[in-house]
Structure 1
C-alpha cells in the first residue's frame, strides 16, 4: 500500500479558458507544473492524473514521468456540477492508499518543496487533514442587515499598520491532504484535526479566469522557476553490489577466502558518470572488505554496507546533496531493492534480475546481466 498518493483532477470542459489544463503557460502545459511538483516530492509514491479528456490523457502520457498514471474519470464525475469529492471517492474506491494529496492543476506555483514540508507538518502534528493557505493582512469588512458595513478584524479608530496585523489565513486551493478512511467516512477532503501549510503570497492566485492566467504566467516568468522537468537530469547514481556489480556468484579460495567477480566495463561506466558531474554511490546489504576495496577503486562518493532499508539511506544522501529522489538513478536486482526502485527518477535491473524486479512498473530492463557490464549499459543510457 502506498503511504501517499497524489490525485490531480483535470477535466476537459472549461468555460472561461477552453482546454486550459493543457494550454501552454510559461513554456509548459498547465498540468505539467503540478505533475512535476508531485513527482519530484520524495514522500509521494504515485501520481494519478484523472481526466475525461482524450487530449489531456494523451499529453499526460507523453510527459515521460515514471511516477505518473493517467486514469479515466467516470462521465458522471466530469460534469459541470460534479464535485471534486466525487472524483476523490471514485478514486478511493478503485485504488489502495493510506493518505491522498489532492492537487489542483490550476495552481502551477506549487513546488515539490511545498509538498515535502506540508507532509512533514501533517506527520509531525499527527493531523487528520491539511490544507494549503496564504496569510493575508487585509482590512476585512462585512455587510450588515441594514446594508451598511462594519469592520471584522480591526478598529478603524486605531487603525494598525499592516505589518503589525496578525493577518488571516486564506485557503488558496493548491492542495489538500487527508486519510483515505476519513475521506470515505465523511465524503469530504477535510475533516478531523486540520493542520495547515502556509505558501508564498503569490500562490494566492488560482487560474480560473483569463486575468488570472496573465498574472500567474508573469509570476512564473519573473521567478525563473527552476523546478526541473519531468525527464530531469540525474545527479546521483546508486547501485547494488551482488547481482549487479557482480554476477551474484559465491567464490572461495583454497583457504576459504570469499571472492567476488567484478567487471572493468562497469568501472569505466562509473568513471564516465563522475566526469559528467554525477555523484556515485553503493548501497548493499552485505558488509565485506572486498566491497570496500572495490568502492575505493571506483572512487564512489558514498558507500553504505550492511543496509536493511535502502530507501532510507538514499533519502539521507539526497538531503546531504540537496536533491530529490527524482534526481537519482538506481540499479538493483532483488526484492530488497523494490522500495528504492519505486521511488527514484530512473531505475534499471540486469537481464538476470528476479522476475519480481522485472515486473515493476517503468523499470528499464537491461540487455546485460549482473557482473557483465549492466552498470556500464545503464550509465550509457543516462549519459545519452
Structure 2
C-alpha cells in the first residue's frame, strides 16, 4: 500500500494573519507537525499544497528534499472552500492508497502518533481514522439536557470514562473512500487517542500563546523518538571548536587553541558517512591551517550570513535541514540553531543560545564540547542505544527549568 501525507496551506488565513508561516517557538507553524511526519517514517511521500509562493519557498527551505510542494487552485483556497476540496484536487494529481491529512494548526503532534495511528489502521482494517483527546467534562445541550452523564448519579472524575473529542491533528483516509464519498471520514472509522494538550488547535491569539509555551517546554520533540537521521554536522569555530580565547605569538600572529579529542570525534562522524562542515565569521590563517590538517574541505570563512549559507549548502547536498546538526555558542549562531534539525551548544554559550539548543554539552568550547556532540550523534545512529533518550530527557528538564 502506498501511504502519502498531505498538508494544505493557504496564504490568506483570517484569524491570525500569515499564521502558517509565522514563527512559533522559533520555527514556522507548519514545520512542527511536518517534521514529526518525516521522523515517523510512515509515509512514502509527503506533500504540501499551497497557493502562496512565500509558503512554497519556506517549505522548501525547511524540508527540501523530504517534502514536495504542489500548486493549489484558487477555488480550494477561499474562506468557504472545504478541506475535502483540496484533498480531492490532490487525489487528481497524486496516486495513493491511504492519505494522511495533516493540519498545521496542531503543532504538538508527535511522530509516535503517526506510527500508532498507522498501526491501528492496518491491524483493524479501517477505512478512515481520526485523532481525538479524552474529555472528562460533563456536557449539556442548550435546553438543559445532559449529553454524556446522569446528573442523579454523578460519577467521580476518576471513575468517569468521559468521551473522545476530535482534535483535528490528522486524518487517515483510503483513496477509495475519498473518491466514493468525497469525505475524509466514512466506512469503518477508527480513533487514535492523543495526549490531552493536543486538544488545542491554533485558531486565535490565545491558542497561539498557550501552544508556544508548550512547544518551548518540549523543545526536544524533533529527537524525542531517536528516529532522526543526521547526514551533516556544521560547526562554528570561535567558542566552539576553540575556547574563544585570543592568543598571540612573539611576532604578533593570532593563535587558536583546538582540542585533539574534538578532531577525533569529527573523524568518527566522517567514517560513518556524515558530512562535516565548518563555518566561521572570521578569516584566520590558524583556522585554515587546522582545517587543512584535519582534511576538512567544507570550510567557509568570513561568512556574514550563516543561515543563508546553511540553506544553500542543504540544497547543494540535497539534505533536508532537519537532517543537519549544528553547534554554536554565540548570537550569530541563533538562526542556524533554530533551523537545524538538531542544535548543540557548548556549556559556556551565551544565555540566548542555551535556551535555543536542543542539547547543551557538559563541556565548554574548545574543551570537548564538539567531541561530546559527535558522540551524541553517533549514539543516535545506533537505535538500540537507550542512553540517548535518557540524556535527552535530562537535557529537556534543564532547559525547562532555565525557561521557567
- Which whole-Å CA distance do the structure 2 matches of 1:96 and 1:77 have between them? 19
What is the match of residue 178 of structure 1? 173
Partner residue in 1 for 2:161? 166
- Residue 319 of structure 2 is matched in structure 1 by none
CA contact (8 A) 1:273 1:279 kept: no
Using the TM superposition, give the Cα deviation of residue 233 of structure 1 relative to its aligned residue in structure 2, in angstroms: 5.1
Picking from 180, 194, 203, the partner of 1:199 is: 194
Kindly state the Cα deviation for residue 66 of structure 1 after the two structures are TM-superposed. Answer: 2.5
The residue aligned with 1:94 is 93
Counterpart for residue 72 of structure 2: 73
The CA deviation at 1:276 is 3.5
Q: Unmatched 5+ residue regions in structure 1?
A: 237-270, 281-325, 329-344, 346-381
Contact kept, 8 Å, 1:235 with 1:277, in 2: the verdict is no
TM-score between the two structures when normalised by the length of structure 2: 0.57
Map of 1:268 onto structure 2? none
Write the distance in 1 (CA, Å) between the matches of 2:223 and 2:271: 16
CA distance in 2, matches of 1:110, 1:226: 9
Distance (whole Å) between structure 2 residues aligned to residue 158 and residue 198 of structure 1? 27
Structure 2 Cα separation of the partners of residues 125 and 272 of structure 1: 46
Give the 3 Å change call, closer, same or farther, for CA 327–63 of structure 1 in structure 2.
Answer: closer
Q: How has the CA–CA distance of structure 1 residues 121 and 27 changed in structure 2, closer, same or farther, with 3 Å as cutoff?
A: same
> What per-residue deviation string (whole Å, max 9, x for no partner) do you get for residues 328-379 of structure 1?
9xxxxxxxxxxxxxxxx9xxxxxxxxxxxxxxxxxxxxxxxxxxxxxxxxxx
> Does 2:150 align with 1:155?
yes
Q: Quick one: distance in 1 between partners of 2:41 and 2:267?
A: 24
Distance between the aligned counterparts of 1:225 and 1:106, measured in 2?
19
For the pair 1:24 / 2:2, whether they are aligned, the reply is no
The answer to whether the Cα contact below 8 Å between 2:110 and 2:221 also exists between their aligned partners in 1 is no
> 1:111 aligns to what?
110
Instruction: Show the 5 A alignment for 1:130-141.
Output: 130-141=129-140
Q: Distance in 2 between matches of 1:125 and 1:278?
A: 43
CA distance in 1, matches of 2:9, 2:89: 14
Does the 8 A contact of 1:39 with 1:65 survive in 2?
A: no
Q: Which structure features the higher share of helix residues?
A: 2
TM-score of the pair, normalised by structure 1: 0.59
Task: Tell me how far apart the structure 2 counterparts of residues 212 and 38 of structure 1 sit (CA, whole Å).
Answer: 22
After superposition, residues 321-360 of structure 1 pair within 5 angstroms as none
Residue 279 (structure 1) shift: 6.9
CA gap 1:75/1:193 in 2 versus in 1, 3 angstroms = same
Q: Is the 8 A contact 1:235 1:278 kept in 2?
A: no
Structure 2: unaligned runs, 5 residues or longer: 233-263, 274-321, 325-340, 342-376, 379-404
Distance 2:176 2:91 in 1: 9
* Deviations 1:233-265, CA, capped at 9 Å, x for gaps: 5289xxxxxxxxxxxxxxxxxxxxxxxxxxxxx
Alignment pair present for 1:234 and 2:233: no
User: Is residue 123 from structure 1 mapped to residue 119 from structure 2 by the alignment?
Assistant: no
Displacement after TM superposition at 1:223 (Å): 2.5
Partner secondary structure for residue 150 of structure 1: coil
What's the offset of the Cα at 1:273?
A: 7.8
Post-superposition CA distance 1:45-91 (Å, at most 9, x none): 11101111111111011114322101110111111111000000000
How many angstroms apart in 2 are the aligned matches of 1:85 and 1:212? 25
